[in-house]
Amino acid sequence: MTAQTLAAFRSPASRLIRALPVVGRVIREVEREIDTVYYLIVIALTALILAIQVWGLPALVLSAIAFVPVMFVFLIWVTLP
């Protein structure tokens, strides 16, 4: 399949997200080379550590609260038969 054929199957929401400047570029880079995910994980952890160094406990608490829905989805996914 060509890129034009795949573009025809994308939903309008997917095309809208890919049109965003930063997010769309990151998605295209991950599609092109999967190793980019590891770089994104390192960047996210570095940003979290720097936020904790600057703002302390509130940054740690807010990041933990933001991670709660992710853990709920993960736990539901793991328990599915």
For 41-59, b/e burial (b = at least 16 CB within 10 A) is: eeeeeeeeeeeeeeeeeeb
Alpha carbons within 13 angstroms on the beta-carbon side of residue 49 total 6
- What does residue 6 show for φ and ψ, rounded to 5 degrees? -65, -35
Check residue 65 and give its pLDDT: 96
Contact 63, 51 (CB under 8 A): yes
Check residue 51 and give its pLDDT: 96
Check residue 14 and give its pLDDT: 82
Check residue 74 and give its pLDDT: 95
Give the Cα separation of 60 and 63 in Å (integer). Answer: 5
5-58 pLDDT, tens digit each: 555 577 888 888 888 888 888 888 888 998 999 999 999 999 999 999 999 999
Check residue 13 and give its pLDDT: 83
Check residue 27 and give its pLDDT: 86
Give the pTM.
Answer: 0.66
Q: Residue 81 carries which side chain, given as an amino acid letter?
A: P
Domain locations in the chain? 3-32, 37-79
Q: What is the largest CA-CA distance in the chain?
A: 49
Check residue 66 and give its pLDDT: 94
